[in-house]
Structure 1
Amino acid sequence: MTTTAQETAPQPTRRGSAIRRNELAAFLRSRRERISPEQVGLPRGTRRRTPGLRREEVAQLSAVGVTWYTWLEQARDIQVSVQVLDALARTLMLDASERAHLFQLAGATDPTPAASCPSVTPALREMLRQLEPIPACIQNSRYDILAYNRTYGRLLTDLDALPPEDRNCMLLVHTNKEWQASVVHLEESQRLMAARLRASLAGHLGEPAWKMLLKRLESESPTFRENWERYEVVGNRSKTKEFLNAHVGHLRLEHTDLWLGPELGARMVTYTPVDEESRERLERLYAIAREATARA
């Protein structure tokens, strides 16, 4: 019996997929075995033989089924969502290169701004710089911080010290202790931001990056889950915000959104002082941020 070219053509693809699945399995095992239980807040115990974490521990920390994760390490032919890949990357403490490698092996596109590098033009970066000492950043409708000036980088926490995929205001206000301590009216801010995210979601239903963000928020923050279940919807508006900065103290700033296009997507967010005391303290914060950048 003669085999046609059409019948044999899919074979290289299947072989390539199998090789990639095996590489993915080996990569996950190697990263799992290098993380100690203490690094993720788990007790070591006295009967542990497995180096690093156990499969069931990775599954639990990533909020996926143990059987499913076991199949993944066995190179089974199963589908992996970007939400699960994101959770695994965080559980296994992957750096930017390792995270990109994980998504590539899984045949998926990482939808986070850290991976896709959305275009922030040199002109916009120059505008951010010229606004100093006024804190300013560029955000999208998902609250990802795409770019920021030096003053904003020290306003609520040290943004430079955070991985790019964690630079999201919604995540930070619900999971970052330093950020939370800097927001004077924290509970009100958390509730309003969840309501604004709900309003923005209507135009992005089903998009992987949005699903990934919501899954992470719901798994890491009971407060977000409670606010999200309220199903409140609020539009964007300017208002005076109060912050308690770790370096210069209390700040009263007017929040303004400057939209960068006809759609309510990317925007430049600015915080201008509402009194002379806040203005002087912003000047001091800018000096601190500038000095830190010079040292780096």
Structure 2
Amino acid sequence: MARQELARFLRDRREDLRPADVGLPTGPRRRTPGLRREEVADLANMSVDYYVRLEQARGPHPSPRILDSITRALRLDPAERTHLFRLAGANPTPPAGPSRQVRPYIAGLLRRMPEAGAVVTDATYDVIAWNPLAEALLGDLREVPNLARRRFLRLSPYEISGAEEFARIAVARLRSAADRYPRDERLAGLLAELHAGSEEFTEVWNTDPVHTPGHRVKTAAHPELGRLRLNCDVLAVPDDDQQVVFITADPGTASARALRHVLRRTA
């Protein structure tokens, strides 16, 4: 019975996905909904025969490593991942690391809000998606994509007031991430770098801060636009342990006019 339930879960989740959801080209019209089995097998780095046997309830009990590969291939959220492990008769292990995939509807949200700067950060404060206005306000996000690294190692010329408050928020989030993802080497490397390069980071870390993001009004010193009064609001994406940060200015203000100027230039 358990194998049949696992097979049904895999089929249902595969058929719910579209090629665009996993970064594959849409291609010609498909006869069946969702992804093909060979596509899932390729995404999961396993043989097609092995995956087919799992969907047909004929395969062996998959190992935690295989289950994590299937989790990534099928874009399972944390609750679905736990369910998958239980169907396979395995104890859920801590995730190897935070999700760094941006769901299509989140990416679409960034495009539909051109008058707001918007970035998506994963649990380690890596910026994994952004829109043009955000990059104009924050600088080259490809060169230094991690907001904690930018803040504590002073790697960005773009200064924003309330940095002490952000320091506490960032450390609280990174401590939580370290608890959730003890096997993530990228996170471990980031924390080691921040401890080695920033006395402030270590001091804040040792206080074990408990801070959550919310609505904040901040003043930014932009190299070209001067001083800007900006609103920062955070939308949590709990399924992927991510956050979307929206940066706006009050209508009719000089800061709003500066943002419109940036919008015209980026357009």
Q: Once structures 1 and 2 are overlaid, which stretch shifts more, 216-225 or 134-143?
A: 216-225
Tell me the distance in 1 between the aligned counterparts of 2:215 and 2:230: 11
> Matches of residues 271-290 of structure 1 in structure 2 within 5 Å?
271-277=247-253, 278-290=255-267
DSSP 3-state at the match of 1:178: coil
1:158 to 114, 117, 140: 140
Cα distance, 1:167 vs structure 2 = 0.7
1:193 equivalent in structure 2:
170
Structure 1 residues 198 and 275: alpha-carbon distance in aligned structure 2, compared to 1, 3 A threshold: farther
Cα distance, 1:135 vs structure 2 = 0.4
DSSP 3-state at the match of 1:158: coil
DSSP 3-state at the match of 1:159: coil
In terms of fraction of residues, the more helix-rich structure is: 1
2:200 equivalent in structure 1:
223
The code of the aligned residue for 1:269 comes to V
1:172 equivalent in structure 2:
150
2:209 equivalent in structure 1:
232
Mapped contact 1:198–1:233 kept (Cα < 8 A): no
- Count of residue correspondences: 171
Tell me the distance in 2 between the aligned counterparts of 1:139 and 1:233: 19
1:257 matched to 2:234: yes
Structure 1 residues 191 and 268: alpha-carbon distance in aligned structure 2, compared to 1, 3 A threshold: closer
1:138 matched to 2:120: yes
Structure 1 residues 121 and 191: alpha-carbon distance in aligned structure 2, compared to 1, 3 A threshold: closer
Unaligned residue ranges in structure 1 (runs of 5+): 1-110, 291-296
DSSP 3-state at the match of 1:271: strand
Structure 1 residues 212 and 178: alpha-carbon distance in aligned structure 2, compared to 1, 3 A threshold: closer
1:37-86 Cα shifts (integer Å, max 9, x gaps): xxxxxxxxxxxxxxxxxxxxxxxxxxxxxxxxxxxxxxxxxxxxxxxxxx
Tell me the distance in 1 between the aligned counterparts of 2:155 and 2:184: 29
Tell me the distance in 1 between the aligned counterparts of 2:177 and 2:214: 13
Tell me the distance in 2 between the aligned counterparts of 1:254 and 1:112: 31
Mapped contact 1:273–1:279 kept (Cα < 8 A): yes
Structure 1 residues 133 and 274: alpha-carbon distance in aligned structure 2, compared to 1, 3 A threshold: same
Cα distance, 1:140 vs structure 2 = 1.3
1:267 matched to 2:249: no
Cα distance, 1:122 vs structure 2 = 4.2
Mapped contact 1:183–1:244 kept (Cα < 8 A): yes
DSSP 3-state at the match of 1:237: coil
2:188 equivalent in structure 1:
211
Larger radius of gyration: 1
Tell me the distance in 2 between the aligned counterparts of 1:138 and 1:288: 23
TM-score normalised to the size of structure 2?
0.56
The code of the aligned residue for 1:148 comes to W
The code of the aligned residue for 1:144 comes to D
Structure 1 residues 208 and 177: alpha-carbon distance in aligned structure 2, compared to 1, 3 A threshold: closer
The answer to which structure, 1 or 2, has the higher relative contact order (CA under 8 A, 6+ apart) is: 2
DSSP 3-state at the match of 2:220: strand
1:64 equivalent in structure 2:
none
1:129 matched to 2:104: no
Unaligned residue ranges in structure 2 (runs of 5+): 1-95
Tell me the distance in 2 between the aligned counterparts of 1:289 and 1:173: 25
Tell me the distance in 1 between the aligned counterparts of 2:247 and 2:140: 17
